[in-house]
Amino acid sequence: MAFDSYFWTPSELPRSPRIDFMKFRLPNNSLEKKFKHFHNLLFSDSVIGRGIAFDQFSYSVEPQRLKVESYPWTYTIPEKLGAQSPYWKFSDELLVKAREELQKSPITSENLHAVTIKGANHASALLVLQHLASEEDVKLIVPIISSSKDTNVTYLSCKALKKCLYNSQNYYPEVLSILRNLIFNEQEDLENRQAAIQALETYNLPEVEELLIEISQKCPDLLSATV
């Protein structure tokens, strides 16, 4: 089954981006034509168009484990798993547009599986940042994860923070506090708690080591179950 979007319903697109989406999805279109329609969606005035472009990029890179269906935490698998995504060529443009989206107010959307996503525009933008973020994006992600009302947004914020914090030597006490609260909140989704731990994997500071020791003492099963 062809992939359309994690968080958006293409039929709700305005006319012009809907035509771009339909042409983008044509199986016999050349890659150059797909690039043209992907670009048009990415630079669309429609948040749905931009969101679909973000989702399509991430989907083409690797499968995502998200709460996007009526049953929880489902993998969606690209048709050519492991193949180099042709949409990496849009990395600079994707990063600019995703950063812009994270500075906008959250938008609630219903996806193709009738799942309501609170902050769908943020979720889609975070899909991009988990691949392309740099440390400077921490300041964009902190207010998103702090105010998140959606489990997908929380999960993807953790994934994006992991990318931001890769081998960082800078101390972000607010980030550690947010991740700590997620990890020790037993009411939180297990996947989000695990993603919060994973965000710390390559963040090599004494304060992080102290937190990991605390996790091992208070939540040994959670730590051992986190891959």
Q: Is residue 32 part of a domain?
A: yes
Q: DSSP labels for 17-71?
A: HHHHHHHHH-TTS-HHHHHHHHHHHHT-S-HHHHHHHHHHHHHHH--EEE--SSS
Q: Is residue 1 part of a domain?
A: yes
Which pLDDT does position 225 carry in this prediction?
74
Instruction: Provide the domain limits for residue 9.
Output: 1-120
Q: Is residue 48 part of a domain?
A: yes
CA 101 → CA 28, 98, 192, distances in Å?
A: 31, 5, 22
Q: Is residue 153 part of a domain?
A: no
What is the mean pLDDT for each group of 10 consecutive residues in the chain (227 residues)? 90 97 93 96 98 95 64 41 76 98 98 94 97 97 97 96 96 97 95 95 94 92 77
- Reading the block at residue 139, the tokens are 């300041």
Q: Is residue 223 part of a domain?
A: no
Q: Is residue 164 part of a domain?
A: no
Q: Is residue 106 part of a domain?
A: yes
Task: Give the total number of structural domains in the chain.
Answer: 1
Q: Is residue 157 part of a domain?
A: no
